[in-house]
Amino acid sequence: MAEVKLKNITKKYGDVTAVQNMSLDIPHNEFLVLVGPSGCGKSTTLRMIAGLEEISGGEIYIGDQVVNEKDPKDRNISMVFQNYALYPHMTVEENLGFSLKIAKEDKEEIETRVKEAVQILGLEELRKRKPSQLSGGQRQRVAMGRAIVRRPDAFLFDEPLSNLDAKLRTQMRTEIKKLHQKLKTTVIYVTHDQVEAMTLADRIVIMKDGVIEQIGTPLELFEKPATKFVATFIGSPSMNMIEAKITNISGELYMETNDGISVLIPKHKKNSLAEGQKIFFGFRAEDIVPLKFGQKPKNSWSMTSKVNLAEPLGTETLIFTNLGNTEVVSRMFTPELVNSNDDLEFALNLDRTYLFDGDTGLAI
Amino acid sequence: MSRKFFSGPFILILPSILAIGFVIIIPLIFSFYTSFTSYKLTRPDSLFNFVGLRNYERLIDNTKFWYAFGRTILFLAVVLNLELLFGLGIALLINKITWGQRTLRTIMMFPMMFSPILVGFQWKYIFNDNIGLLNNFLYLFGYESAIPWLIDKYLAMGSIMVAEIWANTSIFAILLLAGLLGIPRDPIEAARVDGCNSWQVFKNITLPFLMPFIFIALTIRSLDVGRAYDIVHIMTGGGPAMRTELIWTMIARIGYKDANMGFANAMSYVSIILSIAFTYYFFTKLVAARRDLGQQ
Ligand SMILES: Nc1ncnc2c1ncn2[C@@H]1O[C@H](COP(=O)(O)OP(=O)(O)OP(=O)(O)O)[C@@H](O)[C@H]1O
Ligand SMILES: [Mg+2]
């Protein structure tokens, strides 16, 4: 039961800076998800909080204490490792009870808590087995159980679901969410799967190259991405992104793509733009739809273009087409058949477009 | 049938079969046969003097042999345990050091680079009661009465053990270091997060992972120490008054000095049982330790 605070923490491996100047306040009971591409420093951050990695600069607080110099054993934190890290020579129940045994809890208490964990995670049948006799999903649950028997101040999860198949992953995701609601503890959860991040998190931290790109609730990140990177990272399919330049045509600002297509800039964006500025122009798949099968938005721009490919997914259909030379994807929610090579008229909802600076990638 | 017998594969392995036959099987059968004769090296015709189990019967009544047998077991027990302890310590230390590890590993191997005979001579010189380094060193610190390291009935055995341990601890160290380097990092980190201090990590995680390596080292060394001869022969020659006589120094004495080869061979076969017993024991333990870790 504690909040976790990072103050300007930095981690250097020789010349490589894995994490730079990271500050983060995680209140008690929050489910915080760290997400970002491979090598962005997620694991490193988690390992610094756990005490497995020395901190090159800054401070980490757990509760109101600085824990920089504390051993992992004195931090009262549980961690679930990416590849489970079970003790191969111990049975499932020994694995679960190990931390309690080390803490010299009495036998009955250990038994009750192990039993509880075993029930929560459905491991009753497997109590006497060794890790080598378990499937990946079962091992994963043991790893989770080992973390929960301790009643720690905070849970750290490092991509715990990455080795599971799609179905099991969805199932375990729900379990984790339920567990958090039941145990009411601070959770810091690392993943590179943005769906996992969106569904689990109270707040998401998006990292890139060792720095935080944006912190916010899943909806905030989805609706108001602060950078081009966040915009393309969150949401599936990825946000369409087109390179363009600002031009002035008889007093009105347009964005002009490399291949000469001009789109009028929505009024509320005008003030922060200058003629000649390079920008990225983004919109989500559901905001560009075939007119035939949808309603024309109030403020829109249309084009007629050939369908490159259609992917019917049941509840939705993804249509790949070209805007100029750039391929964009459109998502429609009506179960209509669309054929490749059909010419369709698409309407883009201009109220839901995003502009990012061409150099810095910051939202405009 | 006969065609198959002289087929290509058979012809190809024939040289190795012949080599094994000449080097191992024939001597084995021959020595086993001689243990049932009164074969004396000085009287070749005695080779055909079949005496049945007499040599083995004599052996059972021979208290000197059983003393040597017991002493060998004691020697094995002390040497193996101490080598394990020191080897483990050295391996753990070197594993901790990140800078200059390779140089240290090489230095650690130095004792293994010398012939056991020379190691024996060196330690014989160090332990010499008169001119030896050790006594002279003690003398510097005011300890004036010379200690008869190789002459006292208890000290002599200890001195040989010291030499043996000095020469071979690095075998343990190198095998255990290999084991340490192979331990996955994850369980150790998990244990640290689970609340273990360094000692608890060592006891609960590192040691179980090292067990297979410990038993491999023990097997190798038990065979090695079980046939100890050279170092004893050089340092004390089995003396004083046979107090450092081990099985193989006794066998060599009876076989070559007394030329009583039939009897000596009977002794060898009994002593082999000892080696087999140790090997079997350690291998059972090795298999159990590996099974424990989920390695099949
Ligand atoms: N021991 C190390 N020595 C040197 N560089 C390291 C070390 N550990 C990590 N790094 C570097 O630090 C950066 C961050 O690594 P980290 O493991 O935190 O990435 P990650 O975000 O967890 O990636 P993934 O999603 O692939 O697990 C990487 O560029 C990596 O190469
Ligand atoms: Mg990682």
Query: pLDDT tens, B2-60?
Result: 556 667 788 888 889 899 988 989 988 998 898 898 888 888 888 888 888 888 888 88
Its domain, for residue A325, covers 240-357
Indicate if A154 and A262 belong to the same structural domain: no
Question: ipTM of this complex > 0.85?
Answer: no
- Here the tokens at position A86 are 């079970």
DSSP class of B44: G
User: How confident is the model over A125-150, as a mean pLDDT?
Assistant: 90
CB A244 within 8 A of CB A280: yes
The closest alpha carbon to A241, from A327, A152, A142, A143, belongs to A327
Confidence band, pLDDT 50/70/90 cuts, at residue B81: very high
Sheet holding A4-13, edge to edge: A16-26, A4-13, A57-62, A65-66
Distance in angstroms (rounded) separating the CA atoms of residues B255 and B42: 11
Residue B62 has pLDDT above 80, yes or no: yes
Q: What is the percentage of chain B residues whose pLDDT exceeds 70?
A: 98
- The residue-averaged pLDDT of A124-151 equals 90
Hey, what CATH class is B61-295 in? mainly alpha
> A215 and A296 share a domain?
no
Residue A160 Cα to ligand 1 midpoint, Å, equals 17
Task: Summarize pLDDT for A192-231 with one digit per residue, the tens.
Answer: 888 899 999 999 999 999 999 999 999 999 999 999 999 9
Average pLDDT value for residue range A90-108: 93
Q: Which of A160, A145, A215, A218 is CA-nearest to residue A192?
A: A160
- Residue B296: predicted pLDDT: 66
Query: Measured between CB atoms, does A129 come within 8 Å of chain B?
Result: no
Nearest-CB residue to A87 (from B187, B193, B200): B187
**Across residues A337-356, what is the average pLDDT?**
89
User: Can you read off the two tokens belonging to residue B268?
Assistant: 């060898």
Burial of A298 (0-12, 13-18, 19+ CB in 10 A): exposed
Give A262's strand partners. Answer: A256
Q: Is the pLDDT of residue B205 over 80?
A: yes
Domain co-membership, A218 together with A264: no
Residues near B115 by Cβ (< 8 Å), separated by ≥ 6?
Answer: none
**Are residues A189 and A118 both part of a single domain?**
yes
Residue A233 is assigned to a structural domain of this protein: no
Report yes or no on A234 lying in a domain.
Answer: no
Q: Looking at the predicted structure, is the pLDDT value of residue B214 above 90?
A: yes
Cα(A40) to centroid of ligand 1, in Å? 7
pTM over 0.95: no
Q: Do A89 and B192 touch (CB under 8 A)?
A: no
- Give the mean pLDDT of B90-113: 87
Nearest Cα to Cα of residue B269 among B24, B81, B55, B120: B55
Characterize the bridge pairing of strands A343-349 and A288-290. Answer: antiparallel
The verdict on A167 and A140 lying in the same domain is: yes
The pair of structure tokens assigned to A244 is 């363009």
Q: What is the pLDDT, as a whole number, of residue A232?
A: 92
Instruction: Please write the tens of the pLDDT for every residue from A45-92.
Output: 999 999 999 999 999 999 888 999 999 999 999 999 988 899 999 999
* pLDDT, average across residues B106-130: 86
Q: Are B47 and B39 contacting, i.e. CB atoms less than 8 angstroms apart?
A: yes
Domain ranges across chain B: 1-32, 61-295
Residue B105 φ/ψ, nearest 5 degrees: -60, -40
Same structural domain, A215 and A251: no
Q: Are A27 and A141 in the same domain?
A: yes
Return d(Cα A192, Cα A267) in angstroms, integer. 36
User: For A229-259, how does the pLDDT look when each residue is reduced to its tens digit (9 = 90+)?
Assistant: 999 999 888 999 999 999 888 888 888 888 8
Helix, coil or strand: residue B150: coil
**Per-residue pLDDT tens over the stretch B122-177:** 898 888 877 888 888 888 887 777 778 888 888 889 999 999 999 899 999 999 99
* pLDDT at residue B54 in the model: 87
Has residue A96 got a pLDDT over 80? yes
Query: Which residues from chain B sit within 8 angstroms of residue A79, using beta carbons?
Result: 189-190, 193
Residue A330, domain CATH = 2.40.50.140
Rounded distance between C-alpha atoms, residue A230 and residue A221, angstroms: 7
Percent of the residues in chain B that have a pLDDT greater than 90, as a whole number: 34
* pLDDT > 90 fraction of chain A, expressed in percent and rounded: 54
More confident residue, A151 or A35: A35
- Kindly report, residue by residue over A257-273, the tens digit of the pLDDT: 888 888 888 777 777 78
Q: In this structure, what token pair is assigned to residue A121? A: 């995670």
- For residues B58-82, give the mean pLDDT: 91
pLDDT score, position B3: 58
Neighbours of ion ligand 2 (CB under 5 A): A 43
Contact A32, A26 (CB under 8 A): yes
CB distance A10 to A23 below 8 Å: no
Q: What's the whole-number mean pLDDT along residues B107-121?
A: 87
Residue nearest (by alpha carbon) to ligand 1 atom 1: A13
> Is position A362 within any domain?
no
Residue A277 resides in a domain? yes
Residues 40-69 of B with CB under 8 A from A: none
Q: Are the C-beta atoms of A211 and A227 separated by less than 8 Å?
A: no
Give one DSSP letter per residue of B210-240, joined into a string. HHHHHHHHHHHHHHHHHT--HHHHHHTTT-S
Between β-strands A77-80 and A65-66, what pairing exists: parallel, antiparallel or unpaired?
A: unpaired
Looking at this protein, which amino acid is placed at residue A73? K
Neighboring chain B residues of A89 at a CB cutoff of 8 Å: 208-209, 292-294
pLDDT of residue A217: 95
Tell me how far apart the alpha carbons of residues A70 and A315 are, in angstroms, rounded to a whole number: 52
Give yes or no: residues A265 and A329 share one domain: yes
pLDDT above 70 as % of chain A: 100
Same domain, A173 and A248: no
Do A252 and A157 lie in one domain? The reply is: no
Rounded Cα–Cα distance for residues B177 and B106 (Å)? 13
Same domain (yes/no): A110, A250 = no
> How many CB atoms within 10 Å of residue A139?
22
Of the pLDDT bands very low, low, confident and very high (cuts 50, 70, 90), residue B235 is: confident
CA-CA distances (angstroms) from residue A275 to A248, A252, A255, B207, B282? 6, 10, 9, 70, 83
**Alpha helix positions (H), A185-256:** 194-200, 218-223, 228-233
In terms of pLDDT, which residue wins out, B119 or B240? B119
Strand partners, A279: A244, A357
Distance CA B75, CA B83 (A): 12
Distance CA A16, CA B295 (A): 37
Asked whether the predicted pLDDT for residue A154 surpasses 60, the reply is: yes
Distance CA B5, CA B13 (A): 12
Compute the nearest-CA separation of B196 from chain A (Å).
6
Q: What's the CATH number where A102 sits? A: 3.40.50.300
Select the residue from B98, B186, B188, B194 to test the A interface by mutation, using most A Cβ atoms within 10 A.
Answer: B194
Residue A182 has pLDDT above 80, yes or no: yes
Query: By the 8 A CB rule, do B289 and B211 touch?
Result: yes
pLDDT at A17: 92
pLDDT given at position A190: 95
Predicted local distance difference test score (pLDDT) of residue A49? 94
Residues A215 and A290 in one domain: no
Do B235 and B28 meet the contact criterion of CB atoms below 8 Å apart? no
Residue A335 CA to residue A6 CA, distance in Å, equals 48
Largest CA distance in chain B: 83
Q: Identify the bridge partners of residue A7 per DSSP, sorted by sequence position.
A: A59
Give per-residue pLDDT as tens, A22-38. 999 999 999 999 999 99
Residue B92 has pLDDT above 60, yes or no: yes
Beta bridge partners, A66, equal A61
